[in-house]
Structure 1
Amino acid sequence: MPIHSSGPSFLRHLFPLLISSLVLLLSLGATFGVWKNAEADLERNLKIDFDFRVREIIDRIEQRMAAYEQVLLGVKGLFMSSDHVDRNEFRIYVDTLKIDRNFPGIQGIGFSVVVPSHDKDKHIADIRNQGFPDYSIRPEGERDIYSSILYLEPFVDRNLRAFGYDMYSEPVRRKAMADSRDLSQTRISGKVILVQETDEAVQAGFLMYLPLFRDNVTYESVEERRSNIVAWIYAPFRMDDFMAGVGGERASDLNLEIFDGVTMTEEARMHSSSSEALSSLYYLNTIRTIDIDGHAWTLAVSPGASFKQRISLDKPRYIAAAGATLSVLLATIIWQLASGRARALALATEMTRELRESEARFRQMADSAPVLIWISGADSRCFWFNKVWLDFTGRTLDQEKDNGWLEGVHPDDRQRCIDCYLDHFNRREPFRMEYRLRRFDGDYRWIDDHGVPRVDDHGNFSGYIGSCTDITERRQVETILRTHSEALTRSNADLEQFAYSVSHDMRQPLRTIAGHLHLLELGLAEQLDEDNKENLAFALDGAKRMDAMIVSLLDYSRVGRKTEPKICMETRESLNEALKFLEVEIEEKRADVVVQGDWPVLSASRDELTRLLQNLIANAIKYHDSEEVPHVTVVSTEHAGIWRVRIADNGIGIDPKQIDKLFQFFSRLQSRARFDGNGMGLALCRRIVEHHGGRIWAESEGEGKGSTFVFEIPLAQNNASD
């Protein structure tokens, strides 16, 4: 009998513990899964952005080299169009190019003539007679063929050192010059040290060569080209100068090293950016080999110091912290309220299911396509397509013209494409449309087509000219990002609803506990000794702090859901309300609060903005030594569409190593005995700022040196943030 009577009682006491433990494990497991998914999503986002930046910088290098090749072709055209180009004509032509402004990195444009050994003495004498008495071909020595740099503009400073230099005498330069001559094409050299270099700030260099043949004829055979070569048009480059500006405004996002050829040795290194690589993102590191005019460069690219700052890395940590906190709260409620275990378990199960469904799929973007160009006549028929278009479709001009190109448009898009074109054609208006076009391999690619009306010399309409770009990767990325955004929004909404429900349901039992403790304190006041009275007071104080903590969690979960909707409002009015709520604290502490700057009109939630300013100013007044008078400065500024508020104080300051913890849940840097509070105030501030599309941070030089809290909110906000 004792065994049978005690068994049910034991199970009744054990059951809430088992259920709460099970819920805790399930919730932590779900949190771990969501956290891992968030980490994976973050890595995919970083990978997509990093690969895009790598492709962008490679494209810029190739485009810059293509532009410089066009410069040399222009100079070649100058020589081919004239019987003789003297030094003054060459200088005038190069001056008009303004290479120092339009072509960064190029050291100059030169003309190096071929000098047979039997004409060497006559050649030197002729140049000396032109006003250069010290001229000679360098380096000295007997060779079958000489080359000499005769023209090099601008002919000043470093470039004077190259006058008369025989580039054909140096093996690396000679290979590029010989290949350029034999192939009748532009070629670049391997890594060299330019003769223009001095002893200071030496850079690796390379040269670009374009051959010029006798009688301005392009000879068919290699032997003919070797026999009729008369000169090379060339351009020297210092590698670091060449790379300046290639990375654009976000150059510090990437740490870039460039090596000559396909081996990555110290001897082959041509360029290294100064950005510090991030070891934590090592998995993004990539090596690419590109072909520049028949010469290979190897690029080693890794994420730079600023790359990590452009994407928020805090979301997984927030999910883990919120999930762990909510898991503990849920388990505590179920343990205390065994009667509600079925409802809580169902809620936890539903949360787990919803969170697992939030995983997003990301696919890697393909390389961007080149520009396709077409021209139509006044009869609406297309009669010309550029080579890029024909290479893209794999068809001939005869096949594409007279609107034969429509055969390559996807059947589902063809009629829409025709209707759009004819509608704008009849109105003589520019148009833009997107459709799928069949590539040479049979694959359909999305095309963004821009058409602009053409007019002849008399102002008469003569048709259209259009340019097209491949936007397949962009559409894929937009779909992926939209899917991820919707899933992440659902996940955050579920977590917020869960926090609100748990916090709201937990207040009632806490009030009951606090009420009964207070009754015990009153009823047993004369029967308890001092120790028991102190213990009872501690218990009552703990219940009150727990209730205050739940109220803070409720406030946190209400942001964006239970607060006033965003309206167009004067921000100074919210500041005035906050200062009115703080009148007692300001008077008690004899605080000096100074307000400066212009306070703009903003679309915001009035009570949230007031709460934000009230919390930050209250903290600036609160955290001071008892004998110190608080001085608080509140400064409002606007710049580039951003509203910034700085709240500075002369208080106890913050250890810079602890600043990252300030905005976390229940984070306290000071003991409760010194300053009261539950550690949720700054987390609530961060929540309000992020709800308005902004960001918040803290600054301090150290303990005892005061602190400054800064938040920024865009003046023009997207309603999606609601």
Structure 2
Amino acid sequence: MSDPAIHHNQPHGLRQLFSWRNGVAWGMLAFTLLVQLVVWQSLRTNEDRAARQQFQMLGEKVTEAIRKRLRDHEQILLGGAGLFDAVENVSREQWRTYVERLLLPDRYPGIQGVGFSQAIPQAERDAHVARIRAQGYPDYDIHPPGQRDLYTSIVFLEPFLRRNLAAFGYDMYSEPTRRRAMQRAAQLGETSITGKVTLLQETHGKVQAGVLLYVPVYRPNAPLTTPEQRMQALRGFVYSPYRVEDLMRGILRAADLPLALHIYASPGEEPEHLLYASREAPEPGSAGFSQLQQLDLYGQTWTLRMDSRPEFDERFHSNEALVFGLGLGLSLLVFFLTSSLALRHSRAQALANEMTRHIRQSRQDLRLSEERLSLALKGSNDGLWDLDLEAGSMFASPRAWEMLGYRPNELTCDLKLWERLTVAEDLAQQKARLAQTMLSNVDHFTTELRLQHKHGHVVPVLLRGHIQRDPQGMAQRISGTLMDLTERKRVEQMKNDFVSTVSHELRTPLTSISGALGLIVGGALGAAPPAMQQMLEIAYRNSLRLGHLINDLLDMEKIAAGKMSFELREHSLGDLLEESLASNQALCEQHGVRCTLEHPADVLVWVDGLRLQQVLGNFLSNAVKFTPEGGEIRLHSSLRGTKVRISVTDQGPGIPEAFRSRVFEKFAQADASDSRQKSGTGLGLAITKELIERMGGTVGFDCVPGQGTTFWCELPIQIPPAESDCRDGQPRILVVEDEPDTGRLLHMMLREGGYGVERVQSLHQAREKLAASHYEAMTLDLHLPDGSGMQLIDELRDQPAMQDLPIVVISAAHQFEQAQFPAGIVWLHKPITNAQLLVAVEQARDNIRQARSKPR
């Protein structure tokens, strides 16, 4: 309740606010407002200056990006010209190989291709056409037709597909704009670029402005002193065509620049020479900042107009209102503080009373918050825990102790407590999982643990935690909750036992039913009447469908229980794809669908061959289900860095937008109604996701409504181990490292140190090498594609012949993970130097020698 005295004095206080006694406060208000005005004006001036500098820097960034990209493209063309200089007769296959190695779509978006235009005198025209036709192109001819002294026909252009096919055989010398650039390139021996042209590749879609870049190629050993000699020695041009909008999109795609850009292929802003214009450009004269820049590029002058967008202009003045408001608030605060000192003591007392009330209210709110937290924990029946990694201490709430049968603080609370409480056979796996979580960038985690109760039985718990990290990303503190999963696990086990029992019990009679129906339908017992035959076929098909459902249920049960076994080894991906195509050919023919295989390059993958066949079978059967009769399904693969993507593309209606987030969930159906047209259990894709992830891969899909769906999985490529680099008399070292660049670096460092080196990239290969050869030492990465390096160390320490092998662990792991390894292992943190590596190897060998010399 408010103090009545305060309310009684309020009118008198308001009159004093405007009295002469409060003149000092009004003077302070006027002074602070004047200072605020000066600061605001200075801030606005500085922001305008910063905006101009930023806009100028953005313009230079755009100009430099364009210049650099064209220089990069020039280097590509110069490389192609070098190929012609080195090889007298470059074949079409050699040219294709050269261009494919450039990885143009990934590294140089916007380039249409790289080609070669051959210079052909009029007297050699017919012989040239006959030679190209004999290479397998019977319709080849130089176009446009007509008699000319010199032809420059496009004979190579990669990639040789889609839009680029229209340019095959085109004489670019016949068109004036192209001819000017080609003459300049040939006569000066320099790279040249054309003005604005329309490319022959504009066969469909929006027509874009185009330019072409030329590098001349001359006959070897011909004199090239004068322009006439260069024209006489001309063999042709290595060139690239560009659709300018695609080119600029590739150059500026990562910049996200807040400015509009117009590019003219002329010294001035001539509309007929406009090459490129940004979308949503501001109206002329409306931009806050504008500038013109000219680029001299290979014989052409480009004019670039850059205008700032509204978001750029607003960026530098968005805080003015905030600054003004804060300044005004600060001035009023000073005014009222000064007034409070000048006015009567009762006002100060009233303020003190109000502050006291706020403090009491804050304390009450804090107490209520603590009560709510306590009640929430009691209501959820969860325990609370906290690990302070810097202090090395641990806290657990009474409920957490109660779950395990202990009284609070009955056990010593330290960072090792969770290891003592974890079930022994789970400890190694949980250590590896915790170390991986600590090394990652995640802040929240959820995992299941099996803890040992005081009375001996196992308590399954759900652990949720939050990791507090320092600015360097190192974990400082971990806090979270503990949930008892005993009842949930019991219910889940009952459900799994029920599904398993029902599925197994159904299989026996279903096998008899399907077998009997198959014999009858196949005519083993004689012909049945047509009406009966139709009913029997329906029954037979549905018995097979029920069998597939039961198999899917059993697979899901095995995956959930962790009983699904995998036999991982190296396989040829090409063989697996061909086998899958052959296995599913009958299903495709039954539904009147064609299935094709596109596999450009074979690689090795580390998988369970039968499980991968199951995955591909799920993809193909799903595609057959949704592809209309007479349609085509494509089974194809492509390389993506160190991984290979296997895809199945159908011609179905696509996946509805609302269903896409649930595609890989169990029992998910796009049409879940009783009247749906497509049958299925909704388990195939869920099983597929689990199988691929268990083999170290990922799954996904791409879909355009009405244009079909592509389901894909990506698997890591198994790179064959490097050749041995060992000489007689050298101490031999085995390098176990899956990252190719790091492996090559370690190989080189050790070889320079006088060691013979062999390098492998997986646990499987390391085991084979260690079983077949003797090594003086081994370097080991912890995270390998088929397991943990800790697993290999445990195996070696259990083998008498390998117990004394010196091991150097090279990892970027946190010291928390380092602490889990046995003594005697030398640890190096990435990155490392040559000297550090050699010293670590010698230290590991010395440790083993000292251990051998001690009496046992």
TM range (shorter): 0.3 to 0.5
Q: What TM-score does the superposition give when structure 2 sets the normalisation length?
A: 0.38
